[in-house]
Structure 1
Amino acid sequence: MSEAEVPARESNWFGHPAGLSILFLTEMWEMFSFFGMRALLVYYMTMHLRIGQEHASLIYGVYAAFVYFTPVFGGIVADRWLGKRNSVVIGGATMALGHFMMASEPLFYPALATIALGNGLFLPSLASQIEGLYRHDDPRAGNAYNIYYIGINLGAFLAPLVCGTLGEAFGWHWGFTAAGLGMLLSLVIYLGGSRYLPPEPVRSEAAIRTRHPVDRAVMQRFGFLITVAAIVVVFRGAYEQVGNTIALWASEGVDRQVTAGWSIPMTWFQSLDSLVVFTATPLLVIRWARLAKRGIETPWLKKMAFGAAVVGASYLILAAVAAWSEVHGTRASWVWLLGWFIMMTLGELYILPIGLGLFGRMAPEGFRATSIATWFFAGFFGNLLAGALGTLWSSLTHGWFFVLIGLVAGLAAALLYILGLRLGHVETREDASAAMVLSR
């Protein structure tokens, strides 16, 4: 039975298969561990290890890049040899080990490498199981990615509040330990709920060639997806500043004082992105569903272009705030940073979850983990770009730096819009149900 033929399983999780609940919770706690460590990383390097800002930003960018690079090979290994379940278990255990290693200063660089390697097996193997929960013509499959994305961001929301607070209040190593415990909990949930997940497809390369020949249509589809991924690289160069230079600005350029005796911890701002995601996503899904019933369906590439444009505009507004603060020799109010996170994240919702769903739905049979890995591969080059751009933080004023980042996001928006005009017909070649999902 192919992944597309696996019957949907009934569940009380908003009417979706029970397996989606397991994948949701597994990914939530994996993201708790990942973003918990990320919320501490730049501060740990600059404040504890005394690494210079430029060097720390570069390390951050390279690490984040390899977190998205290893899934390319992990997806191939999962599709061909290990299978998705074994890949998730081995990858998750490796990531947990890496998080615990972060508690030891001499193991700092090996720990980063261990987390990146484990993530390579875990990330594509988990997300690629979503499609196997639904029949090919099941209309619920489209919203499944939005629900899954909420799980990602719920864990990312909790992580800075827990790991960040422990790190700031009791020591960085306590925060890293909490991240490791989150990864272990993720594995326990996955193993406990594995009976609700789709069965492993045939992984033999010969069988895949026989059942799913790599014809011209498949190559054209992959070529289209790679083009989209290349543009998303540019977008991520701007978006991935959230855990890098935005975190530094929250520490250096923002007045976090709320009352006479209390200031907002700098790591807490890292939760705002995720908070907006899981509060705004249901509203957007409802809105898109109502528009679809009225026959109004915006092409998904235009949605992605709109999202990138909103992110670019948010950086330009932040540039004006930062420039005004610098001219007047003061710090910007934390309210501006709050408003920026809301605007930036609303733009994110029009590009990242839609892109994830696109790569899942357009994946040829037998290559689903590989296709999902291709989407995450954009994060590799995107984080390298973000790290390189971050090295300019100390040489430019904050205002001009944010102008630069806004222009980078704007370039991505323009490229996505042009691609939609030139290659938007690729969407119409999909079957009716896939086209319906992708346009949501």
Structure 2
Amino acid sequence: MSQPSNWFGQPRGLTILFLTNMWEQFSYFGMRALLVYYMTTMMLFGQEKASSIYGFYTAFAYFTPIIGGTIADRWLGKRRAVIIGAAVMAAGHFMMAFESAFYFALATIALGNGLFLPTLPSQINDLYKAGDPRRPWAYNVYYVGVNVGAFLAPLVCGYLGETYGWHYGFGAAGVGMLSGLLIYLYGQRYLPGDQSATEPAAPAVPGSHRGRDTFLLLLGIGIAVTIFRGAYEQIGNTFALWMRDDVNRVIGGVEIGASMFFSLNPLLVMVMTPPLLAMWKSQAERGRELSVMQKMATGALIVAASYLLVAAAEAVSGGGRAHWLWLLSYFVLFTLGELYILPNGLGIFARLAPPKLGASTVAAWYLAIFAGSLAAGQVGRLWSRVGHIQFFILLAGIASVAAVLLYCLDRPTKNVLARAAPQPDPEDLTDVPEGIARPQNV
């Protein structure tokens, strides 16, 4: 029998993971919305230095999961890793209230993130039996949780930071992290127990999805996503500066704080996800649904188009401040592209994880984000050296290169996923609710 379900036809444990992740993302995006502004105004760092620190911080935050995932799989177990990681991150956010602890606070958050980040989503697979058709769609539901927290964060942390002082905004991020920890502790009974870390992992079967082909596939996807992140991560870096300095943000006679516009991205994720899933379901029923790599490649191209739109806004404004409608249009395109690429990428890594190595395999997804964040920090240094129009065209080119690479991986991905797919349990098929599409192809 499937576990009892009470939310979108999914196991109750997914709700706990959703809410825990929501508050963790509130803390991360709340701090991210303030970080570049804080460095350039409060700490008086130059743009190039602030961009480099931002890039190194985000990269380090996505490098530590490689180590943290291994520690969780071999020694701590997923539950303890989440609890310890959340507590350490909360401490780091509160340290941001003290200027003298700035670098130490960033390092503390990144270290806690190393334990937390790979172990939380890797528990999604454990909620389902093999072959349960609800599992691939669970990542889209989980991704909404990411964006509920990301939506609230700039409104709360951004408002407090820009209105009452940066330290209030950072403190609110810490409170959010503690809230996620408490929810996770409360919901333990809805989550599956950890597999014994001392039991050997299942050996790779020649020709199976756990072999050489899978490794090469994930490596190829990781390289493509690394390139994509070089453009994508500019949203919290150079794009934040453009939004602050080059956009007319006066609406109804009131100038809206730049950091608060970051809420548009997660708000649009929540608004656009249901119709997007409905569209994919309709396409699947007609046998026309895009494969997972085709979706990811399409997403990278849409993000490229969003940066071309910003380049057009710069050209039209002629050196003045662009109208805020350009900003809104950018966020619509950018978010649509994000929905095509990021949840599908995380889902691929989680679905192909070997037994008892779930956290480590999911951590490999964050390794691509680590490398991409490093690249984004260096790309961001060009902001002060080239014209803004040329800079945004460059970002569109970077995202387009990633799209080509992802499309080239389409056939290998279909082959690997076809070998990996177990036969569904007929009993589980009866539990799929109306409105949740069953995956028709990969």
Paired letter, 2:225: V
C-alpha separation in 2, matches of 1:438 and 1:26: 30
C-alpha separation in 2, matches of 1:344 and 1:302: 17
In structure 2, the CA distance between the partners of 1:129 and 1:285, relative to structure 1 (3 Å rule), is same
1:3 paired residue number: none
Deviation at 1:423, TM superposition (A): 5.2
1:293 paired residue number: 285
1:305 paired residue number: 297
Given that 2:301 and 2:400 are in contact with CA atoms closer than 8 Å, whether structure 1 keeps it comes out as: yes
In structure 2, the CA distance between the partners of 1:423 and 1:178, relative to structure 1 (3 Å rule), is closer
In structure 2, the CA distance between the partners of 1:255 and 1:20, relative to structure 1 (3 Å rule), is same
Deviation at 1:233, TM superposition (A): 0.3
2:347 paired residue number: 357
2:219 maps to which of 209, 223, 226: 226
Deviation at 1:438, TM superposition (A): 8.7
Given that 2:285 and 2:440 are in contact with CA atoms closer than 8 Å, whether structure 1 keeps it comes out as: no
C-alpha separation in 2, matches of 1:320 and 1:244: 20
2:138 paired residue number: 144
C-alpha separation in 2, matches of 1:285 and 1:143: 9
C-alpha separation in 2, matches of 1:37 and 1:398: 26
Mapping 1:233-252, distance limit 5 Å: 233-252=226-245
Deviation at 1:223, TM superposition (A): 2.3
1:135 paired residue number: 129
2:272 paired residue number: 280
In structure 2, the CA distance between the partners of 1:314 and 1:115, relative to structure 1 (3 Å rule), is same
TM-score where L is the length of structure 1:
0.94
Given that 1:357 and 1:438 are in contact with CA atoms closer than 8 Å, whether structure 2 keeps it comes out as: no
Alignment of 1:214 with 2:204, yes or no, is yes
1:258 paired residue number: 251
Given that 1:323 and 1:398 are in contact with CA atoms closer than 8 Å, whether structure 2 keeps it comes out as: no
In structure 2, the CA distance between the partners of 1:90 and 1:226, relative to structure 1 (3 Å rule), is same
In structure 2, the CA distance between the partners of 1:69 and 1:437, relative to structure 1 (3 Å rule), is farther
Given that 2:349 and 2:365 are in contact with CA atoms closer than 8 Å, whether structure 1 keeps it comes out as: yes
In structure 2, the CA distance between the partners of 1:438 and 1:233, relative to structure 1 (3 Å rule), is farther
Paired letter, 1:287: M
Given that 1:36 and 1:176 are in contact with CA atoms closer than 8 Å, whether structure 2 keeps it comes out as: yes
Unaligned regions of 5+ residues in structure 1, if any?
A: 1-6
User: 2:348 aligns to what SS in structure 1?
Assistant: helix
Given that 2:131 and 2:421 are in contact with CA atoms closer than 8 Å, whether structure 1 keeps it comes out as: no
1:175 maps to which of 162, 169, 172: 169
Mapping 1:153-192, distance limit 5 Å: 153-192=147-186
Given that 1:241 and 1:390 are in contact with CA atoms closer than 8 Å, whether structure 2 keeps it comes out as: yes
C-alpha separation in 1, matches of 2:13 and 2:260: 31
2:321 paired residue number: 331
In the comparison of the two structures, how many residue pairs are matched? 426
CA RMSD of aligned residues (A): 1.5
1:430 maps to which of 420, 424, 432: 420
1:96 maps to which of 80, 90, 95: 90
2:17 paired residue number: 23
Deviation at 1:274, TM superposition (A): 0.7
Identity %: 54
C-alpha separation in 1, matches of 2:121 and 2:413: 26
2:70 maps to which of 61, 73, 76: 76
C-alpha separation in 1, matches of 2:250 and 2:272: 27
C-alpha separation in 2, matches of 1:43 and 1:181: 21
Unaligned regions of 5+ residues in structure 2, if any?
A: 425-437
1:4 paired residue number: none
C-alpha separation in 1, matches of 2:334 and 2:421: 33
User: 2:18 aligns to what SS in structure 1?
Assistant: helix
2:395 maps to which of 398, 405, 420: 405
Deviation at 1:93, TM superposition (A): 0.3
Given that 2:289 and 2:440 are in contact with CA atoms closer than 8 Å, whether structure 1 keeps it comes out as: no
Which segment drifts farther, 272-281 or 100-109? 272-281
Given that 2:217 and 2:409 are in contact with CA atoms closer than 8 Å, whether structure 1 keeps it comes out as: no
